């Protein structure tokens, strides 16, 4: 927890950039924050069940969907993610009872704000996947990947590192 | 002289003499025109410094943070709303505070006056029959007061403080704007909205004046200052400026009291008040919460309702 954990998340975000792709071979890169108790287990079930889904998603496991600070999402969009997905337990099923319900309010506002500034809101997705929903997880990744693919490579918010002095 | 001035001085004198407070927070005539400076009065003999006019745009609540003294504050509607939120967030101690409500007529926008006089230096400024009269050089400029007010004041829904210990009278406050006016937000297409936001973000020089004048931006360490990891780079560039403006808007969602202090403080005219307005509307419509109104209502992001709308959730048909 604390600073170390945030640093690890930042490192994961920065690693997204490692392979710069040119338009002909472009594949969407999607960062998924999955809660430890439901969605991560749902992703695991999809894998164990040999369900096929697009390989465009890179998973970060978080203790709860409420752990996801909007700054993680914006930092990812700034540094090479074409899309971001946050998934947690279904409302009512949160391991911490109400983490996802508190997170739901926060995400509703983030999405409204991104809409207000004219950001392509289809790059940012919030969903609920339980530990038993391997099929739903695979379907969700297909859906999110297709929506992000339709938008093409991210342009808005993206940081061009030669524009200024990086600190 | 504004009829409130004598009342303000009298109230301050009484509170200090009676020993009810150690410090009075008000406004005094500042070193530069068209904006008053905050005034800190500790002794009853100094109350003559206090003033009041249409240039009290600064939100005085910003000076209450981590101040251990017993303070009397002259609060407009917006200052009072900020105080309500700070009390809710346990940033200030109610017992140490005497809130003197001041009915607000709306504060004049310095930038609008500067545009009115076409960049000249204002030498004299007065209000005659609902008109602002500005003298600059040999010229005289006249404009209706209403057109010279700040956006936040024009759209203010509670110019008279609703939360106070004492309320000054003797002057009629501005009529509250209808909530409906606030709902009318400019609709445009996505590309246009992005261009508008990009243009605002491009102006930002990251001086953080907006953060410093905001009574609700009280974090000891702002996310824009964190360095391990560095979420938002310190150099002004389009992407990090956008990040800063978005994060500040999000951190004030459901908390911003629309005092307009940040817009007024900005040296380069970044106006992102529309972001705060959108979030205000979302919070009101989704969670039934109005920032700064009810001291007993829980902050919207510290709580939840099982029936909160889920229209933004990506749902899939699962087979």
Long-range CB contacts (within 8 A, 24+) of B42-46:
B42/B16, B43/B16, B44/B12, B44/B13, B44/B16, B44/B17
Do B14 and B34 contact (CB within 8 A), yes or no?
no
Q: How many domains does chain A have?
A: 1
> Looking at residue B229, what DSSP letter applies?
T
Per-residue pLDDT of chain B (319 residues; tens, 9 = 90+): 788 999 999 999 999 999 999 999 999 998 888 889 999 999 999 999 999 999 999 999 999 987 889 999 999 999 999 999 999 999 999 999 999 999 999 999 999 999 999 988 888 888 888 899 999 888 999 999 999 999 999 999 899 999 999 999 877 778 888 765 445 556 678 999 999 999 999 999 999 999 999 999 999 999 999 998 999 999 899 999 999 999 999 999 999 999 999 999 999 999 989 999 999 999 999 999 999 999 999 999 999 999 999 999 998 876 5
Distance of CA B270 to the CA centre of its chain: 15
Q: Is residue A104 part of a domain?
A: yes
Question: Residue A70: closest CA among chain B residues belongs to which residue?
Answer: B247
Whether residue A24 is predicted with pLDDT greater than 90 in this model: the reply is: no
In angstroms, the CA A60 to CA A8 distance is 10
Q: Band of the pLDDT at A167, cuts 50, 70, 90?
A: very low
What share of chain A in percent tops pLDDT 70? 90
Residues of chain A positioned with their CB less than 8 A from the CB of B254: 109
pLDDT for residue B128: 87
Q: Is residue A156 part of a domain?
A: no
Contact A113/B246, CB-based, under 8 Å?
yes
Beta bridge partners of B101: B75, B167
Of A10, A113, A144, the CB nearest to B314: A144
3-state SS record for B6-25: HHHHHHHHHHHHCCCCCEEE
H helices of A50-116, in order, are 70-78, 99-116
Q: What is chain A's mean pLDDT, rounded?
A: 91
Of A75, A120, A167, the CB nearest to B234: A167
Contacts of B77 (CB under 8 A, 6+ apart): B104, B156, B158, B159, B160, B161, B162, B173
Contact A105/B304, CB-based, under 8 Å?
yes
pLDDT for residue B127: 87
Distances (CA, A) of B135 to B55, B120, B121, B128: 17, 9, 9, 13
Mean pLDDT of A135-152: 96
Q: Is residue A167 part of a domain?
A: no
In angstroms, the CA B319 to CA B314 distance is 16
Distances (CA, A) of B262 to B35, B210, B221, B271, B276: 14, 4, 19, 9, 11
Q: Kindly state whether B202 is in contact with chain A, defined as any CB-CB distance less than 8 angstroms.
A: no
Distance of CA A96 to the CA centre of its chain: 21
Q: Kindly state whether B224 is in contact with chain A, defined as any CB-CB distance less than 8 angstroms.
A: no
Residues of chain A positioned with their CB less than 8 A from the CB of B195: 118
Distance of CA B289 to the CA centre of its chain: 19
Do B192 and A118 contact (CB within 8 A), yes or no?
yes
Of B235, B300, B318, the CB nearest to A105: B300
H helices of chain B, in order, are 3-17, 77-88, 110-116, 145-148, 151-154, 179-183, 190-203, 209-213, 238-251, 261-265, 273-287
Residues of chain A positioned with their CB less than 8 A from the CB of B250: 70, 109-110, 113
Query: Coil, helix or strand for B181?
Result: helix
Whether residue A165 is predicted with pLDDT greater than 60 in this model: the reply is: no
Q: Kindly state whether B219 is in contact with chain A, defined as any CB-CB distance less than 8 angstroms.
A: no
Question: Residue A101: closest CA among chain B residues belongs to which residue?
Answer: B304
CB contacts < 8 A, A to B, total: 147
Contacts of B101 (CB under 8 A, 6+ apart): B75, B80, B160, B161, B163, B164, B165, B166, B167, B168
Query: Coil, helix or strand for A29?
Result: coil
Of A118, A125, A127, the CB nearest to B191: A118
Phi first, then psi, for residue B66 (nearest 5°) are 45, 35
Contact A128/B313, CB-based, under 8 Å?
yes
Do B231 and A71 contact (CB within 8 A), yes or no?
yes
Tokens of A91: 């409302």
What's the pTM value of the predicted model, to 2 decimals?
0.93
Tokens of A31: 């960062």
User: Which CATH number characterizes residue A60's domain?
Assistant: 3.40.50
pLDDT for residue B95: 95
Q: Kindly state whether B286 is in contact with chain A, defined as any CB-CB distance less than 8 angstroms.
A: yes
Q: Shortest Cα distance from A7 to chain B (angstroms)?
A: 5
Q: Is residue A9 part of a domain?
A: no
Q: Is residue A70 part of a domain?
A: yes
Q: Give yes or no for a cis peptide into A143 (omega within 30° of 0).
A: no
ipTM of the complex: 0.92
CB atoms closer than 10 angstroms to residue B178: 10
pLDDT for residue B192: 92
Q: Is residue A7 part of a domain?
A: no
In angstroms, the CA B312 to CA B210 distance is 30
Q: Is residue A166 part of a domain?
A: no
pLDDT for residue A161: 67
Phi first, then psi, for residue A80 (nearest 5°) are 115, -5
Contact B229/A118, CB-based, under 8 Å?
no
Nearest to A117 by CA among B45, B274, B26, B133: B274
Q: Shortest Cα distance from A24 to chain B (angstroms)?
A: 25
Contact B230/A167, CB-based, under 8 Å?
yes
A88: containing domain: 28-151
**Which range among A95-99, A135-139, B172-176, B221-225 shows the weakest confidence by mean pLDDT?**
B172-176
Contact B275/A125, CB-based, under 8 Å?
no
Q: Shortest Cα distance from A77 to chain B (angstroms)?
A: 10
Q: Shortest Cα distance from B110 to chain A (angstroms)?
A: 26
Q: Shortest Cα distance from B8 to chain A (angstroms)?
A: 40
Q: What is the pLDDT of residues A62-80, one digit of tens each?
A: 999 999 999 999 999 999 8
Q: Is residue A48 part of a domain?
A: yes
* Of residues A18 and B159, more confidently modeled: B159
For the packed helices A99-116 and B238-251, what is the interaxial angle rounded to 10 degrees? 130
Contact B247/A117, CB-based, under 8 Å?
no
Q: Kindly state whether B190 is in contact with chain A, defined as any CB-CB distance less than 8 angstroms.
A: yes
pLDDT for residue B188: 77
Of B278, B306, B310, the CB nearest to A116: B278
Do A115 and A107 contact (CB within 8 A), yes or no?
no
Whether residue A164 is predicted with pLDDT greater than 70 in this model: the reply is: no
Tokens of B286: 């989704």
In angstroms, the CA B47 to CA B12 distance is 7
**Which range among A117-131, A138-152, B115-129 shows the weakest confidence by mean pLDDT?**
B115-129
């Amino acid at each position: 927890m604390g600073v170390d954990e945030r640093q690890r998340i930042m490192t994961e975000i920065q690693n997204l950039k490692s392979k710069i792709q040119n338009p002909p071979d472009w594949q969407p890169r999607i960062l998924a924050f999955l809660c430890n108790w439901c969605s991560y287990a749902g992703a695991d079930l999809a894998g164990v069940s040999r369900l096929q889904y697009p390989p465009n998603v890179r998973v970060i496991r978080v203790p709860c969907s409420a752990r996801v600070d909007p700054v993680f999402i914006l930092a990812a969009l700034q540094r090479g993610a074409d899309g971001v997905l946050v998934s947690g337990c279904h409302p009512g099923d949160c391991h911490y009872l109400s983490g996802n319900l508190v997170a739901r309010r926060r995400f509703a506002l983030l999405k409204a704000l991104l809409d207000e500034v004219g950001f392509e809101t289809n790059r940012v997705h919030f969903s609920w996947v339980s530990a038993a929903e391997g099929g739903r997880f695979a379907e969700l990744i297909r859906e999110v990947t297709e929506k992000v693919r339709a938008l093409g490579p991210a342009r808005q918010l993206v940081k061009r590192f030669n524009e200024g002095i990086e600190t | 002289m504004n009829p409130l001035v004598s009342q303000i001085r009298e109230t301050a004198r009484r509170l200090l003499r009676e020993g009810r407070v150690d410090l009075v927070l008000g406004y005094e005539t500042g070193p530069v025109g068209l904006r008053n400076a905050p005034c800190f009065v500790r002794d009853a003999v100094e109350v003559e410094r206090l003033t009041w006019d249409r240039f009290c745009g600064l939100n005085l609540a910003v000076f209450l943070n981590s101040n251990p003294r017993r303070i009397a504050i002259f609060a407009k509607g917006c200052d009072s709303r900020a105080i309500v939120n700070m009390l809710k967030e346990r940033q200030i101690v109610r017992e140490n505070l005497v809130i003197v409500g001041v009915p607000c007529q709306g504060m004049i926008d310095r930038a609008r006056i500067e545009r009115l006089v076409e960049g000249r230096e204002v030498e004299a400024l007065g209000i005659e029959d609902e008109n602002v009269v500005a003298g600059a050089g040999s010229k005289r400029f006249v404009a209706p007061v209403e057109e010279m007010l700040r956006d936040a004041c024009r759209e203010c829904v509670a110019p008279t403080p609703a939360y106070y210990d004492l309320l000054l009278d003797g002057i009629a406050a501005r009529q509250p704007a209808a909530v409906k006016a606030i709902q009318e937000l400019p609709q445009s297409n996505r590309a246009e909205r992005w261009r508008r936001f990009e243009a605002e973000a491009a102006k930002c020089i990251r001086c953080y004046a907006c953060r410093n004048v905001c009574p609700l931006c009280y974090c000891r360490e702002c996310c824009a200052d964190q360095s391990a990891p560095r979420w938002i780079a310190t150099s002004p560039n389009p992407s990090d400026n956008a990040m800063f403006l978005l994060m500040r808007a999000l951190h004030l969602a459901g908390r911003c009291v629309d005092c307009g202090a940040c817009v007024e403080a900005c040296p380069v005219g970044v106006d992102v008040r529309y972001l705060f307005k959108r979030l205000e509307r979302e919070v009101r419509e989704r969670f039934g919460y109005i920032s700064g109104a009810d001291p007993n209502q829980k902050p919207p992001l510290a709580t939840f309702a099982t029936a909160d709308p889920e229209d933004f959730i990506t749902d899939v048909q699962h087979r």
